[in-house]
Structure 1
Amino acid sequence: MSPLADRVIRARAWRRGLMAFAAGAVGALALPPFGILPALVLSLTPAVWLLDGAAKAGPGWAPRLKSAAFAGWFWGFGYFVAGLWWLGAAFLVEADQFAWALPFGVLGLPALLAFFPAFGFALAQILWTRDASRVLSFAFALTVSEILRGHLFTGFPWNSPGMALGQHLWFMQIASVAGLYGLTLLAVAIAGAPALLGTGATTRDRWTAPGLAAAVLAGLAAFGALRVPADPTAAVADVRLRLMQPNLPQDAKFNPRNRDIIMQRYLRISAEPGPDGQDHEQATHIVWPESAFPFLLHRDPASLAQIATLLGPGSVLITGAARMDEPLPGEAVGKFFNAIQVIDEKGTILGSYDKVHLVPFGEYVPRFLDALIRAVGLRQFVHIPGGFEPSERRTNLEVPGLPPVAATICYEAIFPGEVLPDGPRPDLILNVTNDAWFGRTPGPYQHFAQARLRAVEEGLPLVRAANTGISAVVDPFGRVTGSLPLGVEGVLDAALPAAVPPTLYNRHGRFVLTATLVICLMAALTRRRRRPLA
């Protein structure tokens, strides 16, 4: 056993927690925008050693599980603090109202999320053995905890360890088979395997698992290289997109006093010549970002008329916009929805998509906390009376001149397997978002990377319009065919890549993942019986 591994395994009390926290924090460097893949090895290799130490915590299950969960919580706390610190920027947009809550966002949310890896570490300890199969047990358990994190309490699958692989073109291609959680299983197994270099009793014990991990990584790269075609993806005929990125500060965006300034800015930028000299009237579809206006566009004929002057014959505008239903009898106002609306050259709204998966505390206050929060004078971030209402179901957005569109607003695009509606398969994923809340931090890069991975999973192109960036067009293989960087104002003119046939993940993703996890569990249980800890 190496001295470093031995030191981690034998660590107790606060040293153990500190080591776990540091290991977790290092793992965040493997995520966008850094993408330092070896950082995940430096994060998960000590995690395996910490679990080795938990196995020596004492006789019986209680001390072992307590020690494993303790290490898992501190590992997760470090991972989420380092990976999500940028959430604090949202509390400073209206600092007079929300700055006091900044520590709760920067430290409180990571502290809660850390209970998921704590569970994963404890589950891994139940399956722990003395041989190399314990790395597979760890990968299985941490993946299960990530699946739970992505679904429980409305779900928050942000920065799953699989994104360490899911941001690199060749490695991300396996998501077309197994999705984000399949990537997570592989990432944890590969990055945890080098732990055997420090604990193996023989040369074979030390090198077999790392060698297999290197072979799997090479296999993923080879699969990706073979899957991604050398030629550009064919474009959809008669479609010319123009994505407008206004780069509007969040503190100005939702001030109704700025309504005319904002509208004129959007119109001016949209009408500017593109980088290649293209005129805006050549665009068949102009796309604006999420919640583009501090007013209700569908109740503002003057603004709709201004939009009509922008659009050429037969062209349409697709834009984020808050929408309100007609009030019911006895109600002063109707229900508000975070929506995408389609407007033609006459200023007529042709259709809408209402957001299904709202952001807790950002777009609505959970009902069981609503009375308490309002009693102390607080509200959600978005200035909507009562918050937004979620749509009951996801539907395709019908846009003239485009194939059926799977519309997503903001972080709806981070949920694997949930971006497509039931029914006929669409041919395009549309994502409009406003990441201005988070400034020039890692947050917008992480958001874009996760939306990009949905294109690979589903075999569909992605069209993404973001207020401050990153706006982009991505083909079904995850290749960025055009983009606007974070923090700039401008337009992106691009063709629409064609969809490819449904991926294995699209057709059987749940089955593939479930079957893989069951196989891993059965293998871990078999090894546990043959090589018990005591």
Structure 2
Amino acid sequence: MRGITQFSGWIILLSGWRRALMAFLAGALATLALPPYDFFAVCLIAFPVLVWLIDGAVDTANGGFMRRVLPSAVVGWWFGFGYFLAGLWWIGAALLVDAQNFAWALPLAVVGLPAFLALFYALAVLIARCLWSDGLGRIFALAFGFGVAEWLRSFVLTGFPWNAIGYAAMPTPMLMQSDGVVGLFAMNALAVLVFAMPGLLADRRHRRAGLVLALVLVAAHVGFGFYRLHDAPTVAEESTGVRLRIVQPSIAQDMKWDDGARRAIFDKLIALTGTSPAPGQSKPAVIVWPETAIPYILTRTPEALVRIGEALSDGQVLLAGAVREEEGVPSPLYYNSIYAISDRGEIIGAADKEHLVPFGEYLPLEKWLRALGLQEVVEMPGGFSAAMSRHSLKVNDHLAFLPLICYEAIFPAGLGYSGPRATAILNVTNDAWYGDTPGPYQHFRQAQLRAVEQGLPLIRAANNGLSAVVDPYGRITDGLALDAVGIIDASLPSPIDPFWGKPPGSVETWTVLMVLLAISCGYAVLSRRRFD
């Protein structure tokens, strides 16, 4: 342990740009715990380094409260900046699809967004510093701070909880089961609690208690996952008997809205839809196309509906991503939608996207920003309009889906809906914007966890991947690789009851956070009494 003690001492004594650089590198290192790398052990290095940096971030001047805590908040910001810059750099790829119009915004997306998101981690460390004490108490304080910050990140300014820390602790289905008990926001805090515990290796007095607690939490996490999956039905046993087909066409993003390519895109989708099933397999009852797959406004192009009806066999239903147009004043409204289309070429249902992407699908402060010449990335007059509420998409009397379009699947909260009870989650998306980068893998992992939380299988159709069928335990039953062209023919897994009878929510989140807060406060009080 002497080497760790020396190393921690060196970290604590860093100052100025060296301390900022170390925090930045620790945050960047932590992103290796995220998909597609899933090397979660790096967090057992990154977070102890953060603990030691906070230990050393003390203003020696006899100033006020902010003078005492501000150096720690700066450390938190640099840690967050490294984490979000290394984890979200691929967002810039979307702006290069139409580089002529949007390349100028690359610094804002690649550097500006991480710089903004880093403010949440600065807040996390600021909260922790207010409760800081020696030994084990400061680890609980850091976990509480990150738990609150990640919760805020899920809804402030419409929210962007992408790459929440908790995902680093859930790289496999066995390690995902705890999420169905306490939910992502509590998992964020508990993950930091465990990841930061090796910071006590340099503390002889609290080392043993901290490591024992970490081992107990890890054993509970792994043990519950093993028990849950051991008791779960096999993939063959859990089938509803409903056959479905997912179509992954892998259309290049720069072709999707090309007028000259529309017919070829539509022909490709129709051809994949009509592919004969493997010998011995029945025809699928439900066929799923990705987000905005239909290259036409269907209300203006009835011949497209006719072709869809001709391509479907008797009783088949197509669930297809499309742009839906609605009469509006003074101009039409456009929605990012999923249509349900019958074998007669009739639209029998539709679900619109409720949670739109700022600057991607709509322009915040539209009046002022349009006056400056800005526009949203998606090529749609006036951008998309948001649905007023979410409702299930009914296919028949026995089958309904919870529709999540694109990045709606990254939000663990606010997934309530009206209408018939959902049999599965339907996530349609188009990640071709981001090419072969970590983005599509990160997006898929987050959708995968929604299945575990909701107790519903996930049917995911992505334009260029990753398309998959995932059971309610988070196990992938079938899938297609990134940029593959093809179909998935699979049986729809059966839903299960969530652990508490409903998905984990605020009760589970705040129970965990309040326990962490109480322990942090207790240690802080004891620590101050000891030095009084």
TM-score bin, normalised by smaller chain: over 0.9
Pairs within 5 Å for 1:118-157:
118-157=122-161
Report what 2:309 is aligned to: 308
List per-residue Cα deviations over 1:400-437 (Å, max 9, x = no partner): 26522110100001100223315764221110000000
SS of 1:72's partner is helix
String of CA shifts for 1:46-70, please: whole Å, max 9, x gaps. Answer: 1111111124655453233111110
The one-letter code matched in structure 2 to 1:415 is: F
Segments of 5+ residues of structure 2 without an aligned counterpart are: none
**Counterpart position of 1:30:** 33
Per-residue deviation, residues 221-242 of structure 1 (Å, max 9, x unmatched): 1100001135314445441100
Query: What are the superposed Cα offsets for residues 72-122 of structure 1, whole Å, 9 maximum, x if unpaired?
Result: 000000000000011011011011111121121111100000000000000
Aligned equivalent of 2:455 = 459
CA 429–163 in structure 1, closer or farther in 2 if over 3 Å, else same: same
> Once structures 1 and 2 are overlaid, which stretch shifts more, 164-173 or 438-447?
164-173
Q: Flag the 1:64–1:114 CA change in 2: closer, same or farther, 3 A.
A: same
1:518-529 → structure 2 map (5 Å cutoff): 518-529=514-525
Amino acid at match of 1:381: V
Contact 2:464 2:482 in 1 (8 A): yes
Matched pairs, number? 524
Give 2:452's aligned amino acid: V
What is the CA-CA distance between 1:501 and the residue it aligns to? Answer: 1.3
Given the alignment of the two structures, is residue 377 of structure 1 paired with residue 373 of structure 2, yes or no? yes
- SS in structure 1 opposite 2:183? helix
Contact 2:266-2:295 within 8 A present in 1 as well: no
- Paired residue for 2:98, among 94, 97, 105? 94
Classify 1:212/1:92 alpha carbon distance in 2 versus 1 (closer, same or farther; 3 Å): same
- 1:350–1:101: structure 2 CA closer, same or farther, 3 Å change rule? same
In the alignment, residue 509 of structure 1 is paired with which amino acid? G
Aligned counterpart, 1:173: 177
Q: Quote the offset at 1:508 in angstroms.
A: 5.1
1:352 aligned partner:
350
- 1:364-422 deviation per Cα after TM superposition (whole angstroms, max 9, x unaligned): 001x2x23432343311111111101011111111126522110100001100223315
Partner of 1:259: 262
CA distance in 2, matches of 1:260, 1:278: 33
Q: 2:71 matched to which residue of 1? A: 67
Q: Supply the RMSD in Å over aligned alpha carbons.
A: 1.8
Distance 2:419 2:397 in 1: 20
Structure 1 residue 25, shift from structure 2 partner: 0.2
| Letter aligned with residue 153 of structure 2 | R
1:362 and 1:381 in contact (8 A); partners too: yes
1:322 aligns with 2:326: no
Aligned equivalents of 1:238, 1:188: Cα separation in 2: 41
Find the aligned partners of 1:131 and 1:423 in 2 and give their Cα distance.
52
Give me the whole-angstrom Cα distance separating, in 2, the residues matched to 1:195 and 1:508.
Answer: 30
Cross-structure match for 1:361: 359
2:110 partner letter: V
Give the stretch that moved more between structures: 354-363 or 8-17: 8-17
Offset of 1:256 from its aligned partner? 2.4
1:429, 1:460 within 8 Å by CA — same for their partners in 2? yes
Q: Give the secondary-structure state (helix, strand or coil) at the position aligned to 1:7.
A: helix
Contact 1:420 1:426 in 2 (8 A): no
Is residue 385 of structure 2 the alignment partner of residue 389 of structure 1? yes
- What CA distance in whole angstroms lies between the structure 1 residues aligned with 2:432 and 2:527? 53
Q: TM-score, normalised by structure 2?
A: 0.95
Q: 1:525 to 1:237 in 2, by over 3 A?
A: closer
Q: Taking every aligned residue pair, what percent have the same amino acid on both sides? A: 42
Of residues 52-61 and 31-40 in structure 1, the stretch that sits farther from structure 2 once superposed is 52-61
In the alignment, what sits opposite 2:221?
220
Q: 1:16 aligns with which of 15, 19, 22?
A: 19
State the AA in 2 paired with 1:303.
A
Unaligned runs of 5+ in 1: none
Q: Alignment partner of 2:294: what SS?
A: coil
